[in-house]
Structure 1
Amino acid sequence: MAFSKMWATPKRRRAEPEEQHVFRSEWTQRYLVVERDDGEGAECLVCRRPIVATRERDVRRHYEAEHEHYEVYSAGGERAALVERLRRGDAMSAVAMTREERAARAGLGVAHLLALHGRHWAEARLVRRCLESVLRETLPDHCRVLDEVDLSPESMAKKTLGLARNLQGQLMARGPTFQAYSLAFDDQGFVGTEGRLMVFVRGVDQDYDVDEELLTVVNLHGGPHVGHVEQVLNEALARSGLAWDKLVGVASTGSSWISDPHGGLVQVLQDRASEARGAVGGHTPLPHCAGLLHMQLMGSRELDVGGVVDVVAGWLALLRTRGTRSIGLKMLIEDAEQSHGGDVNLLCLGSWLRRTKALKRVFHLRRDLEVFLTESGKPRSSDMRDLLQDPDWLCDLSFLVDMQTHLAEVANELRLPGTFAFTIMDHICAFSDKLQMLRTHLSEGDLTFFPSSRELCEQLDEQGHTGREVLASHRYQEALARLHGKLQRNFEDLCAVKRDLDMFADPFSFPVENAPQHIQEELIRMKSSSTLLSEYREETLGSFYAGLPPGCYTELQAVTYRAASLFDSSCLSDKAYSYLLQHQARLTHLTSEEHLHALLRIATSNFEPRLDDLVRYRSRSLA
């Protein structure tokens, strides 16, 4: 089956199903927020913090995380009076905290900030000195308040664990409400944290609110063992109240031990899910999106026909140790160090060159590199310099630079949160067609979509060399064909649920005869309702399905829950990847695996820690 046919989309595709950022007046009493004067989001009446993304779930999460204790004012009159006091700025008279509780809350806030920014716990002392300096000049009578806030490194370490447990507790509370969920496995090697598997979960509840969180981290030291991973995963799912029969899909980096059809991790999960669903859900295999996570890295490796990245990484490593007078090269190395927390080696540089625009900058600085290699005096420098004068190798470099630009475009599209899995199909289908177009252009010598290669060919023509013929050769055609084939293999499992995704995306345009028989009657009933059609056009996709009359479309909603819970992006794994690379120096010196897991949970979580719950738990434990 042709790839383009495989990914054919329905005639009408609903726009991105991101919730509309429109403030609702009823939120003021429900969540204690008001609309900002500039109309850009909401403002909390209690802490006066802005909430930029004004979706109800964002407003509700802030309220539940920070101010849920105001639920004691539940009666209508009490609630209205509370709102009026908060409007006047009288927040403390509503629910007063003791002096000790406020100090404990402040310490937790500092620990949370240190964790988010990858800073050492000892830096809390610097925070204290900064605060003391400010208070001494502005509010000298309040300097003694800092003596009540414990900011010692030992206290910060304990608070970090407490924050992580609080976030995990929120996931445990949400887990049983999920109607369906999917898992994502990221075993990408990170400097300082190699040999670990991060497992993310994406679940959807009956209101079609979607949560994506870190489920657990599995230690793979000694090599990945599927049995061990399954055991740890089973314990994590049980802790979070997630049943195996609600698992509907898997995303991964596409590693062989995960994707192996004979005993790989995905195969084991498929067997467990099928066994759990046996009596109620049949034995439909779990769809597996291999390569969804870190797709730009995978694509870059497939297209690196001349081993370009390893060679350039070696140059930059030499450049970092020898130094250079070139401003451009100095800035290049500074950017690499900044992106990796100052600890840069070949693995760091290779990953950095594959994920950013850095390789393009190397291409434009190749003359400076040639000068540097000439002056370095290293025995192998002449061989390195010869590559920069080799037309074939330069074509390899320019080809990879141009293709990385195209890969970055599709990676950015797959990185957008707040969408659903059917958008993956659109983006991958478009990129697949684009690869075919690029192959045709290259074979014809048309470099319209290869600006770096076009620039190089113009220079080679002036020097009497040929460039277009090299770029039109079979080696680049084969590289594009390999990537096209890998995309087809990695995402072919979505074909098994394509019908469900299309029906979920646009039920009113979906042909009834293409739907499963047990859903056809509900689909006909929905299509005949002008009221539901109007709501579908006006509401977001999740809001539309959540607002269906209870008990009327149960079979259809079961399908849409599964479609909504499939992983839609690599946003969460990229967030973890960036955190690990930028703070690797800090993470490699951690003495506890528990603290590493805690920092990863805090850095990636979409929940806000409920500081008041932590403070009250501490107060009860000391009582």
Structure 2
Amino acid sequence: MKAKKALSDGELIKNCAIKMAEAFNENKVGNKFQTVPLSKQTVTRRLEDISNQISNNVKDIIANCSYFSIALDESTDVSDTNQLLIFVRAIKEDFTIFEELLQVCSLHSTTRVTDGAKSMTGTISGFVGFLRQNQITVPTLHCIIHQEALCAKSIKLSTTMATVTKFTNLIRGGNRSLTHRKFLTLLEEMDSAYGDLLLHTEVRWLSRGKCLVRFFELRHEIATFLREEVTNSAELQNDLEDVEFLRNLAFLTDITQHLNVLNLQLQGKKQTICQMVGFVDSFRKKLHLFKSALDKNNLLHFPCCRKLSEEEEEEEEEEGLEFRDYTEIIEDLSSEFDRRFNDFESFRPDISLFSNPIHCDIESQPGHLQLELCELQCDPSLNTSQVTGIDFWKLLSPERYPLLRNWALKLCSVFASTYICETAFSSLKHVKSKNRNRLSDVVLSHILRVATSQLEVDFISLVSSFMKPQCSH
């Protein structure tokens, strides 16, 4: 079930276990395996039992936690059904964090809840608007990873990306298997650094950067291949010789790679909002550094641009290429980050206090925390502690710092991204595929809960809950 395999695979596993026992001359063990019921129907019932136990455990965690938040995201499965996933992030008094699937909602008719788009946080439409119409006031955030991806799309070099996609599709697009094989042979003969081009997929966060890096490194091999193997490709060959296109390609590759580094930092489960905002703040500082460097045509942080410039310098025997004019794109990207991450500014004072409680200005902090902060900043054991972040707050005594611990628990309970939903959608594609698209909504919900849960299943209590074991007939 964790492997997200078909429910009918139970019989296959049973037969393999029997054959394995017989191979070791353990016929008695093989006979016992014969009695184990693993039909599709039985496995489905067992799956439901396991899922229900996990669901009950999640409810207990929510009932006994200090604080919790929820993350919602929606996507369309292979049968064109919108699946809304709701995850809960609960934190206990000892700062133990649980992130578990709360509910799978299959939306067969009109959907009222939007996905990671900005409209989800609107005051009228979307989930947040629905909450406010029902007088439910809670802090809300638009997924930090989605916003980073939207910022990346604002780079004004879409024509360059479209041209790269045209090249890639010409070589390894649909119905071009012969052309693709010839290209692979050429790369092997030329002992290229990479063995193939990569296709670009919009829905995959890191796809564009990987595609661009591979294309930039193989641009000479691609030019050779077009000249030798592809007729009527003169226009595309000209693009690969056009300095302006190559400059755009090099810059787009470098800046997209920097964005991919940020995206990878933001991925991962159980990250606090403080960590994620810290990564974004770091990137915003990098953008200022990039602009300052490009103003001087310093390509230290742009390896593809530097490589292209050095190649042109060797070929033309003159100064390398200029990249100063790309500072405007850096400025626009920086402005886009400022605009899109504005909703995190309300958390800025809390993040600052969480990250540096020892040296914060006590008078600027919330009044109910000030007395305990005085105690904390004068506590020798905490002043000499080397731990930071959530590990530091675990050190605070509940008796001496009840208000500060409670405040930190609340902040650590916040979902800053829907990354956990995205990973569950990846599981959904394996579970409900084109070869297994008739799963009922209930069974799909059970499979996803078991597949995504980090809670241990108490099989002994499950078995003991039945009056007598069920044997295979």
1:591 aligns with 2:439: yes
CA distance in 2, matches of 1:564, 1:480: 33
CA distance in 2, matches of 1:553, 1:478: 49
Match of 1:22 in 2: none
1:354 aligns with 2:207: yes
Note closer, same or farther for the CA distance 1:225–1:613 as it changes in structure 2 (3 Å cut): same
SS in 1 for 2:455: coil
**Unpaired runs of at least 5, structure 1:** 1-111, 230-251, 277-282, 337-345
Q: Which whole-Å deviations, capped at 9, do the CAs of 1:483-526 have from their partners, x for residues lacking one?
A: 32232233323322322233334433222211222232333344
1:400 aligns with 2:255: no
Contact 1:423 1:568 in 2 (8 A): no
CA distance in 2, matches of 1:484, 1:524: 38
CA shift, 1:287, in A, is: 4.7
Note closer, same or farther for the CA distance 1:515–1:194 as it changes in structure 2 (3 Å cut): same
**1:364-375 maps to which residues of 2 (within 5 A)?**
364-371=217-224, 373=226
CA shift, 1:144, in A, is: 1.6
CA shift, 1:135, in A, is: 1.8
CA distance in 1, matches of 2:107, 2:235: 39
Query: What is the aligned counterpart of 1:322 among 153, 176, 183?
Result: 176
Note closer, same or farther for the CA distance 1:189–1:451 as it changes in structure 2 (3 Å cut): farther
Query: What is the aligned counterpart of 1:607 among 440, 451, 455?
Result: 455
Match of 2:20 in 1: 134
Match of 2:63 in 1: 176
**1:203-352 maps to which residues of 2 (within 5 A)?**
203-219=90-106, 224-226=111-113, 253=116, 255-269=117-131, 275=135, 286-288=139-141, 290-294=142-146, 297-303=149-155, 305-313=157-165, 315-318=167-170, 319-320=172-173, 321-323=175-177, 324-327=181-184, 348=201, 351=204
CA distance in 2, matches of 1:439, 1:130: 62
SS in 1 for 2:158: coil
CA distance in 1, matches of 2:161, 2:12: 40
Note closer, same or farther for the CA distance 1:559–1:367 as it changes in structure 2 (3 Å cut): same
CA distance in 2, matches of 1:414, 1:480: 21
1:564 aligns with 2:412: yes
CA shift, 1:209, in A, is: 1.3
**1:47-62 maps to which residues of 2 (within 5 A)?**
none
**1:498-509 maps to which residues of 2 (within 5 A)?**
498-509=348-359
Note closer, same or farther for the CA distance 1:210–1:287 as it changes in structure 2 (3 Å cut): same
1:486 aligns with 2:336: yes
**C-alpha RMSD over aligned residues:** 3.9
Paired residues in the alignment total 458
Contact 2:88 2:99 in 1 (8 A): yes
CA shift, 1:434, in A, is: 0.3
Note closer, same or farther for the CA distance 1:299–1:365 as it changes in structure 2 (3 Å cut): farther
Contact 1:308 1:396 in 2 (8 A): yes
CA shift, 1:564, in A, is: 1.2
Contact 1:192 1:588 in 2 (8 A): no
CA distance in 2, matches of 1:373, 1:119: 43
CA shift, 1:450, in A, is: 1.1
CA shift, 1:311, in A, is: 4.6
SS in 2 for 1:216: strand
CA shift, 1:295, in A, is: 5.6
1:517 aligns with 2:370: no
Contact 2:99 2:270 in 1 (8 A): no
CA shift, 1:567, in A, is: 2.4
* TM-score, normalization by structure 2: 0.80
Letter in 2 for 1:492: N
Letter in 2 for 1:455: K
CA distance in 1, matches of 2:398, 2:423: 35
Contact 1:199 1:214 in 2 (8 A): yes
CA shift, 1:528, in A, is: 4.3
1:434 aligns with 2:286: yes
CA distance in 2, matches of 1:383, 1:442: 31
Note closer, same or farther for the CA distance 1:370–1:594 as it changes in structure 2 (3 Å cut): farther
CA shift, 1:368, in A, is: 3.7
CA distance in 2, matches of 1:353, 1:531: 43
Question: Which range moves more in the overlay, 445-454 or 149-158?
Answer: 149-158
CA distance in 1, matches of 2:439, 2:231: 39
Letter in 1 for 2:407: V
**Unpaired runs of at least 5, structure 2:** none
Match of 1:446 in 2: 298
Question: Which range moves more in the overlay, 449-458 or 119-128?
Answer: 119-128
Note closer, same or farther for the CA distance 1:373–1:259 as it changes in structure 2 (3 Å cut): farther
Contact 2:89 2:413 in 1 (8 A): yes
CA shift, 1:208, in A, is: 1.7
Q: Which whole-Å deviations, capped at 9, do the CAs of 1:228-287 have from their partners, x for residues lacking one?
A: x8xxxxxxxxxxxxxxxxxxxxxx83x033133443433444565xx45xxxxxx6x615
SS in 1 for 2:139: coil
CA distance in 2, matches of 1:135, 1:622: 21
Note closer, same or farther for the CA distance 1:299–1:118 as it changes in structure 2 (3 Å cut): farther
Q: Which whole-Å deviations, capped at 9, do the CAs of 1:138-181 have from their partners, x for residues lacking one?
A: 24322222212233333333433433333222211111122222
SS in 1 for 2:182: coil
Contact 2:70 2:86 in 1 (8 A): yes
* TM-score, normalization by structure 1: 0.63
CA distance in 1, matches of 2:143, 2:154: 12
Contact 1:420 1:568 in 2 (8 A): yes
Q: Which whole-Å deviations, capped at 9, do the CAs of 1:407-462 have from their partners, x for residues lacking one?
A: 22222222244543212232111100101211222233221111112222333445
SS in 2 for 1:199: strand
